[in-house]
Amino acid sequence: MTETKHGFATRAIHDGQAADPLTGAVNVPIYLTSTYAQEEIGKHKGYEYSRVSNPTRDALEANLASLEGGASAHVFASGMAAITAMVTLLKSGDHVICGENVYGGTPRLFNQVITRYGIEFSYVDTSDLEKVRAAIRPETKLVHIETPTNPLMTLTDIRAVADVCHERGVELAVDNTFMSPYFQRPIELGADIVMHSTTKFLNGHSDGLGGVLVGTKPEHKEAFAFVQKCTGGILSPFECWMVLRGIKTLAVRMKQHDANGRRVAEFLAAHPKVAKVYYPGLATHPQHDLAARQMSGFGALIAFQTGGLEQANAVLKRVKVCTLGESLGGVETLISHPATMTHAAIGAEARANLGITDGLVRISVGIEDVDDILGDLEQALSVL
């Protein structure tokens, strides 16, 4: 008899998390151990050293592989550590295509660190399929995209880009941090690798760093596990437990993030002091139809134009319910200034080319009472 595949919320709570066989504990224990007792030479219970493997980490990795529909998952100490592990699939002379409007730390890593090892990067607008096709070379091995992008919420058609990549023997990696697997599952659309900063929606409580790579092939499992073992940039057992704890409520949290996000986007779009709003859930978003097709919700990330640096700072100084700070995906509403925070490293010229102005503000809508969020934004925007 074929085993029934449970729904998302059920898998989030149960997959990889069987009751502890020793005590019956419902929650996976935090195995705070660096090493494991062995019965004799070559005989142990499946664990030797926690850099290589740990039961708490195994539980989280099994859970994340299930939620994304991948063959294996491998967790790392941060989202950037996960991206670093991903490029270890490459060798000198290889070429990577990266979306031109991704989190600023990604091109910083690629341009200032990885290029030292003879790997070349091209940055293109991956929402334009022909630009992706034209950028592929014989030595191209990987296309890495974010969809929606950070912070301008531009979408890439995952299935279409996956088809182009696979026609040319290129793998597609998708940063799925903004949507979480609750709203978007890139592997079902043809992606080969999915990456998350688990710091964000997966953890959901702004109290831990982490990253994950979900692979679809045996060679991904072998390569990423080897990188974990060799480099040691793994997620600690306690941090693994924190992410597992967060994932149990991922489905209900994402529903509320989405409901609040839609309300906030509509409020901002109607506000006379807001010049423009970037949110794929708005019918005015140029890729709204694509968003409705490849995502099951529109999420909590919104960007909007205030007019300039002085105006943005005036608004950000006045917020009270919203928290001015880096990051996103927490239960609290976080508001930030991309030009001086997430995208400061790419420089003023690159920001200008991408449309990241000094007046742009990004908001990660939390799960507070939405009327309190709207009231806070109303009083903050009144200064303009």
Q: Is 51 assigned a catalytic role?
A: yes
Sheet arrangement for strand 301-305:
277-278, 301-305, 360-364, 334-336, 323-324
CA of residue 328 relative to chain centroid, distance? 10
CA distances from residue 28 to 70, 213, 242, 244, 322 in whole angstroms, order as listed: 22, 21, 11, 9, 33
C-alpha to C-alpha distance for 226 and 233, rounded to whole angstroms:
11
Q: Are 180 and 201 in contact (CB under 8 A)?
A: yes
Of 94, 157, 175, 192, the catalytic one is 175
- Name the residue among 319, 311, 306, 255 with its Cα closest to residue 278: 306
Tokens 């912070």 -> residue: 151
- Single-letter code of the amino acid located at 343: H
Residue 215 DSSP code? E
- Name the residue among 225, 117, 205, 133 with its Cα closest to residue 170: 133
Of 11, 200, 221, 262, the catalytic one is 200
Q: Is 159 assigned a catalytic role?
A: no
Length of the chain: 384
Q: Is 58 assigned a catalytic role?
A: no
CB-based contacts of 277-280 (< 8 A; 24+ apart in sequence): 277/302, 277/303, 277/304, 277/305, 278/151, 278/152, 278/153, 278/302, 278/303, 278/304, 279/153, 279/303, 280/148, 280/153, 280/155
Of 15, 51, 108, 245, the catalytic one is 51
Q: Are 105 and 345 in contact (CB under 8 A)?
A: yes
C-alpha to C-alpha distance for 331 and 239, rounded to whole angstroms:
18
- Exposed, middle or buried by CB within 10 Å (0-12, 13-18, 19+), for 47? middle
Of 31, 94, 103, 221, the catalytic one is 103
Q: Are 189 and 70 in contact (CB under 8 A)?
A: no
Give start and end residues of each alpha helix (H) in the chain: 8-14, 55-68, 79-86, 105-112, 129-135, 158-167, 180-183, 218-231, 237-247, 250-270, 288-294, 309-318, 348-354, 370-381
Q: Is 371 assigned a catalytic role?
A: no
Active site residues: 51, 103, 175, 200
